[in-house]
Structure 1
Amino acid sequence: MHIGLIGGVGPAATEVYYRALVRAYAAAKRRLALTIVHADAREMIANLEAGRATEQAAIFADYVDQLRAGGCDAVAVTSMGGHFCIAELEKISSLPLLSAVPALNSHLAAYGVRRVGVLGTRAVMQSRLYGVDSVEVVIPADDELGAVHSAYVTLAASGHATAEQCAYFHEAARKLHEEQKADAVVLGGTDLSIAFHEADLSFPVLDSALIHVEAIARAAMQ
């Protein structure tokens, strides 16, 4: 299968997907067929914050058409925030979509925890990973939700995490674990790995990007 990725939302997440797919195919001794288009992160974030799912789906559908023209067989969006319009996109996409949501649901069911916390955009947090139901999902307190969203959007747009940003997200994760009794914390923003790659935490941290990549690779190799 020739995989298509809608990247750029944000740049760091796109790199995570690319490198992880390369590793997966190298480990399987398979040849990777992959094409990436670059979407506008600022445009997507503006539509996300305004709740313009139909408009963003139409934008993504144009990128899907480009990927189809490039020979792709299926497409994935490299952003959990970008999944806010996945239902609308599925209706108009010219190619099958490899969504992160069922991949997360299956992974969490098999992981063996009952309660997970999530960090990411407001849409990802308030939807509790877009309706994942294999585990209980908890989110930051109401008075912290907006700050987590803003901090994540800033990080995703820049593609870089400062020491202060890393410390902020580590503390937010710790609160989910200690105050909300989350057995594990899901990085519900696919760029968040850049803030956690050197984290030394006492609880599991699960990267939604890597879980999604695993599912993409499995589907493509079949």
Structure 2
Amino acid sequence: MRTIGLIGGLSWESTVIYYQIINQRVRERLGGSHSANSLIWSVDYTTVEDLIFADRWEEVSTLLVDAGRKLEDLGADVLLICSNTFNRVADQVAQTSSVPVLHIVDAVGAGVRARGMRKVGLLGTRFTMEEPFYRDRLAAQGFEVVVPEREQRELIHRVIFDELVRGVLKESSRNAYAQIIADLANDGAEGVVLGCTEIELLIDESYSGIPVFPSARLHAEAAANFALAPESAHRLMAAGSPSDWST
């Protein structure tokens, strides 16, 4: 079994999902009391939050590259950035790493492809919904991506940073998100990507009229699959092919 390195604390509320899902998946696959070989380097979230709001992404990159190197030095065979927004610097982390970096968008894309969908809605931080790094990577996999209207994007963004990363779950916010998903469905979305790892703490398919793709869960499952994959599949995944990530 390969060792999984998690760059977490982005926020720790959703990093918990990664640790739980990875270990559950390994136990399901191997049986008994098996669990994953894993490492977590958890950063102080306020530090990185301040940087992204100041548009100091080079410093974010430096911080996460350093976290990745520390995990690699400790024995990680694969790295994950436990956040959608912070995968904005995943390429920089990958360029300085000698082990694969599993990109969250590729894990999401594999999940969407497995359901046979072509048009999906995207919820996330303002950075994720409005900047090209996320939408373009999904589009490159053959999907049409739609985002909510501007006022709705602002509401989604505010709830993430004022509530979800602090562990605050409000019914009013859950209802607002459900209405936004309904609007995306009316715009032709066949499913919706929960493109912020904290959103799946608030909402799931029971609040949605269309399928949801929980990014943290999909990313964590991809990591478990990578850790347990035979060498042939491992080489494909390490090369950046997400085709077997959902197996």
Contact 2:191/2:210, CA 8 A, preserved across alignment: yes
Match of 1:51 among 45, 51, 55: 55
State whether residues 53 and 88 of structure 1, in contact with CA within 8 Å, keep that contact through their aligned partners in structure 2.
no
- Aligned-residue Cα RMSD (Å) equals 1.9
Aligned to 2:163, the other structure's residue is in SS state helix
Q: What residue is the counterpart of 1:159 in the other structure?
A: 167
Equivalences, count: 221
Give the corresponding residue for 2:235.
none
2:11 is matched with which residue?
10
Aligned to 1:67, which of 60, 64, 71? 71
Question: What is aligned with 2:193?
Answer: 186
Q: Which amino acid aligns with 1:56?
A: V
Q: Structure 1: where are the runs of 5+ without partners?
A: none
Residue aligning to 2:112 = 108
Deviation at 1:144, TM superposition (A): 2.8
> Which position in structure 2 is the counterpart of 1:81?
85
Q: TM-score, normalised by structure 2?
A: 0.82
Q: Which amino acid aligns with 1:166?
A: R
Per-residue deviation at 1:94? 5.2
1:118 to partner: Cα distance = 0.8
The letter of the residue matching 1:117 is: G
Checking the alignment, whether the CA contact within 8 Å between 2:13 and 2:198 is kept in structure 1 is: yes
> 2:144 matched to 1:136?
yes
Instruction: Quote how far apart the aligned CAs of 1:32 are.
Output: 1.2
Deviation of residue 44 (structure 1)? 2.1
Within 1, Cα distance between the matches of 2:208 and 2:138? 24
Partner residue in 2 for 1:117:
121
Shift of 1:197: 4.4
Structure 1 residue 201, shift from structure 2 partner? 2.5
Structure 2 segments unaligned to the other structure (5+ residues): 230-247
Deviations 1:131-179 (A, max 9, x none): 212211000112332232122222342023122222222222222112x
The answer (yes or no) to whether the contact 1:41–1:157 under 8 Å persists in 2 is no
Relative to the length of structure 1, the TM-score reads: 0.90
Q: Percent identity?
A: 26
Hey, what's the Cα distance between the residues in 1 that align with 2:136 and 2:97? 19
